[in-house]
């Protein structure tokens, strides 16, 4: 069934014949999957940041456990988007998780700082700088938050495969 000169084998389908590689199981990922990954990444980052800010305001804490939710959310959304499993998807899920944690951490700190000054959340995000957010996290983070933030990375890699 294989052609020695080309390295391809006949892969019979029900209605038509196609050629697939004999020696490799690596298939190129179509560009539409990457466009879907970008859309899913933006959706996951914005959604988790908004939910994280809501929990932060409600509980009046950093809610570091939301990093684990961000990892699960990124993995589930990439799987639902139909991105093929493998190391590429795991890297993308890891990148989405990191961006979600950074964005969510910034938004929850900015909204909490703004609430203390009586500023509306959507205004506080634009008025708060990264130095102030970093200082807020230094004052409010607990050991459990650090553990959750660190566990989110291997969790996202594992779920992304």
pLDDT in tens, the chain (161 residues): 444 555 545 455 555 555 555 555 556 667 777 788 888 889 889 999 999 999 998 998 999 999 999 999 999 998 888 888 889 899 999 999 999 999 999 999 999 999 999 999 999 999 999 999 999 999 999 999 999 999 999 999 999 98
Q: Please identify which residue in the block is written with the tokens 């560009």.
A: 31
C-alpha of 126 from chain center? 23
Q: Which residues fall within 8 angstroms of residue 28, CB to CB, at 6 or more apart?
A: none
How many Cα atoms sit within 13 Å of 18 on the Cβ side? 5
pLDDT for residue 8: 47
Length of the chain: 161
Nearest to 49, CA basis, from 32, 34, 63, 29 = 63
């Amino acid at each position: 069934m294989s052609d020695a000169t080309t390295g391809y084998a006949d892969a019979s389908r029900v209605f038509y014949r196609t050629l697939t590689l004999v020696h490799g199981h690596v298939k190129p990922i179509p560009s539409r999957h990457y466009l879907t990954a970008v859309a899913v990444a933006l959706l996951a980052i914005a959604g988790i940041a908004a939910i994280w800010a809501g929990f932060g305001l409600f509980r009046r804490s950093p809610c570091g456990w939301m990093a684990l939710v961000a990892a699960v959310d990124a993995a589930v959304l990439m799987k639902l988007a139909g991105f093929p499993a493998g190391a590429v998807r795991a890297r993308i899920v890891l990148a989405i998780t990191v961006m979600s944690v950074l964005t969510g951490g910034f938004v929850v700190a900015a909204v909490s700082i703004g609430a203390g000054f009586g500023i509306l959340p959507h205004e506080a995000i634009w008025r708060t700088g990264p130095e102030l957010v970093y200082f807020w996290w230094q004052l409010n983070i607990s050991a459990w938050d650090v553990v959750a933030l660190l566990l989110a990375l291997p969790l996202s890699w594992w779920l992304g495969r």
